[in-house]
Structure 1
Amino acid sequence: MNIYIDEAGSFVKPEQNKCAISTVGALILPENKTKIIFSKFEALKKKWGFADTEIKGSQLDESQVNSVIEMLSKYNVMFEVVAIDMNLEENDITTEHKLNRAQKLVDSITEEFNENLIQYIHNTKQEIESLPNQLYVQVTLTIELLIQIFQKTTLYYSLRKPKELENFKWMVDAKNMNMTTSEKVWSELILPLAQTRSFEEPLMMLNEGDYSYFFKNRTRGEIPEYLIPHVGERDPNDFSELNSVFSDITFEDSKNNLGIQLADILTTAIRRSMNGNLQKNGWKNFGKVIVMGKKQSITLRSISEEANPDKYETKPPYNEVIGDLNKTTKSI
């Protein structure tokens, strides 16, 4: 499968007391449908006067956004998004969260680690600590997004397109010619954090699902010796090798990547919707491309445990968006 990732928003706490949603989103396309989807998208771009230029989600109105959703809904695609209301976050709590996560890396060092690995961990700790808080929040949401995509796609495509589970190809909107510190941090942290999450929440699998392609090139039930203390008495077959899942990550210029342009349109549209800046005609059909999660359609994340939307005098716009989409999203 081909997975295209982009973000929308500043991830900065606003000066005014109003909701300030920022989002990280991903469009997942079946590999055998990617070419025809791009062809349909190029036809829409030509119709709108963007034939030879990059198109941004902020440029589209409700009707155009809905046209993109309707086109994508015909091809068994998935759209996954993690959002945060920065108005509910506090900078000092974010800083504490960042420093604690950096310190946990060093705390994980044992006598079995060689000098090179120890130095690498200390360097990563310094990189995390150096991140401005808004980039740290974006990194945190991106990692959460990738983990959720892995879980949902293995469930959804095992019942519909099992061959898509053979390869995971991640393409991310690059911000510079060279990889930024934040991009380096999350791409290096995703594997160990996904592995840690798998100890707490082993990968869910359906009895009816076909996982033959997923396990074609991956081992299962072989736990490295240094991880055995973390696994405890649980069945080793509950865990699978994740290196190949998160190994193919590239950072690409959105100008040359139609998949990232589509991800930008959807991610920006969800953000605009949740902030009350895109009317319902633009977002009402998002449920056709979103797969329902454990609790709701859109993951609304917070760094602070004290984040509370009750601070608003009226309910924030995203309550209606999430509530409506919870009723219309695709089921696993």
Structure 2
Amino acid sequence: MNIHIDESGTFTCASAPESWSVVVGVATAEPARRVIQSALADLRRSAAALPHQEVKFNLKDSQYLELLREINHPTILLFAVATDTGTQTVEQVQDHQRFHVDDLRKNISRMKYAGGKDGLALLAEQIERLSPQLYVQLFCQSILLYNVISQATTYFAQRHPQTLSSFRWRIDPKGKTRTSYEQAFLKLAPALIQARSIRYPMTLYRGLDYSHMKRFEFTEETYPDHLHTEHGLPYMEGHDLGRMLRESIDFPDSKSSDGIQIADLLARCLKRTLQAKFDNPKAIANSIGKLTARQGTAGASVDLVNFSASQFVSPATASVLATMAESSRSLIQPRGAQRRLSRNTS
């Protein structure tokens, strides 16, 4: 599976609502490569751009609609996490950060081995040192990563099972040298998605073909002991999510990556849609929703994250979110009404 990730927005607390920051992940099977190449070539011609030139700004509704139509393909699945930084203060983000750190530290004494205690203490310390902006960005991105792993696996297990044999993460870099955020991401993201998998166990479905993921399953030697001693989970069950993330991760130049360019366009498109800045935002929202998947009666794979006690969404934003949910695909194909098998992962 190829996963290309990009974002739009600063993730910095703002003074006015509708200050959206979004991060998107585009999960694809190998046949999607030609679909994306063709869609980008058509967009460049429409925008009078040079071959292989990145197209980013001043796109019309019609150009976005055509792009979204072309990449509406079963081998392409969109995930997104968004936060309105205008509805939360720096103090509220810091409170959320302190609560997160305190929660990690409460679990240190429960760890059986010194290595586990030290690792959890270091994770808490590193999160505590993050600036509010980096904390918001990393928190949103860790949710995105887990959503991709936990849901794209089930999606492709029904359609292109061989896609699950590897996970290639490609993330848009923010400079020629590794930024402080990218350094923090590489250190903290595997541990954060592990923690999330304990709180929200990944659901696998009987009858689907997860066999290509077998090499990521824990063995008796690699299973993290604390999942058994502290959470009562049996040995030999679950997948090593950290390995799924670390095995193939890179920050390529977007100029050389069609996948990053698509992720960039979708991030910008989603942000403008949430802000209702298109002439016809509902038409755009309908097309975006077709790229996402819903699980059961849940909405589309666009998670809203808020760091304050209350969540406010304007009527215009609520309307486009509802449109996305209505047009989204079903994660489980109709004939796949399999009995669920809940398995913890790490």
TM-score by length of 1: 0.87
Cα distance in 2, alignment partners of residues 251 and 165 from structure 1: 21
Q: 1:250 offset after TM fit, Å?
A: 1.0
Inter-CA distance 126–59: structure 2 relative to 1 (3 Å threshold): farther
Q: Secondary structure, in 3 states, of the residue corresponding to 2:23?
A: strand
| Aligned counterpart, 1:165 | 164
**Is contact 1:221–1:240 with CA below 8 Å preserved after alignment?**
no
**Is contact 1:82–1:301 with CA below 8 Å preserved after alignment?**
yes
Report 1:1-332 matches (<5 A): 1-16=1-16, 18-50=17-49, 51-56=51-56, 58-102=57-101, 104-105=103-104, 108-109=107-108, 112-114=113-115, 118=118, 125=124, 127-215=126-214, 217-220=215-218, 222=220, 223-232=223-232, 234-236=233-235, 238-247=237-246, 248-278=248-278, 279-280=280-281, 281-293=283-295, 295-297=298-300, 298-304=302-308, 306-309=309-312, 315-332=314-331
Inter-CA distance 155–114: structure 2 relative to 1 (3 Å threshold): closer
**Is contact 1:89–1:303 with CA below 8 Å preserved after alignment?**
yes
CA RMSD of aligned residues (A): 2.5
**Is contact 2:36–2:262 with CA below 8 Å preserved after alignment?**
no
Q: Secondary structure, in 3 states, of the residue corresponding to 1:59?
A: coil
Inter-CA distance 218–130: structure 2 relative to 1 (3 Å threshold): closer
Cα distance in 2, alignment partners of residues 70 and 156 from structure 1: 20
**Is contact 1:127–1:181 with CA below 8 Å preserved after alignment?**
no
Q: How many residues align?
A: 321
Inter-CA distance 146–203: structure 2 relative to 1 (3 Å threshold): same
Structure 2 counterpart of 1:176, one-letter code: G
**Is contact 1:159–1:208 with CA below 8 Å preserved after alignment?**
no
| Larger displacement relative to structure 2 (35-44 or 322-331) | 35-44
Deviations 1:259-301 (A, max 9, x none): 1110011111111111111232333211221111463212111
Cα distance in 2, alignment partners of residues 37 and 121 from structure 1: 41
Deviations 1:65-96 (A, max 9, x none): 11111111134210100111112212112112
Structure 2 counterpart of 1:229, one-letter code: T
Cα distance in 1, alignment partners of residues 315 and 168 from structure 2: 36
Q: 1:144 offset after TM fit, Å?
A: 0.3
**Is contact 1:37–1:72 with CA below 8 Å preserved after alignment?**
yes
Cα distance in 2, alignment partners of residues 221 and 122 from structure 1: 26
Cα distance in 2, alignment partners of residues 52 and 82 from structure 1: 28
Structure 2 counterpart of 1:67, one-letter code: E
| Larger displacement relative to structure 2 (250-259 or 260-269) | 250-259
**Is contact 1:198–1:239 with CA below 8 Å preserved after alignment?**
no
Cα distance in 2, alignment partners of residues 86 and 169 from structure 1: 30
Structure 1 counterpart of 2:299, one-letter code: Q
Q: State, as a whole percentage, how many aligned pairs show the same letter.
A: 25
**Is contact 1:203–1:238 with CA below 8 Å preserved after alignment?**
no
Q: 1:130 offset after TM fit, Å?
A: 3.8
Q: 1:227 offset after TM fit, Å?
A: 3.3
Inter-CA distance 224–132: structure 2 relative to 1 (3 Å threshold): closer
Deviations 1:218-269 (A, max 9, x none): 224643334322231x444552222331112211221221111100111111
Q: 1:303 offset after TM fit, Å?
A: 1.6
Structure 2 counterpart of 1:264, one-letter code: D
**Is contact 2:216–2:243 with CA below 8 Å preserved after alignment?**
yes
Q: 1:29 offset after TM fit, Å?
A: 1.6
Q: Secondary structure, in 3 states, of the residue corresponding to 1:7?
A: strand
Deviations 1:175-196 (A, max 9, x none): 0222222222233222222222
Q: 1:102 offset after TM fit, Å?
A: 4.0
| Aligned counterpart, 2:339 | none
Inter-CA distance 226–325: structure 2 relative to 1 (3 Å threshold): closer
Q: 1:31 offset after TM fit, Å?
A: 1.7
Q: 1:316 offset after TM fit, Å?
A: 3.7
TM-score by length of 2: 0.84
**Is contact 2:228–2:235 with CA below 8 Å preserved after alignment?**
no
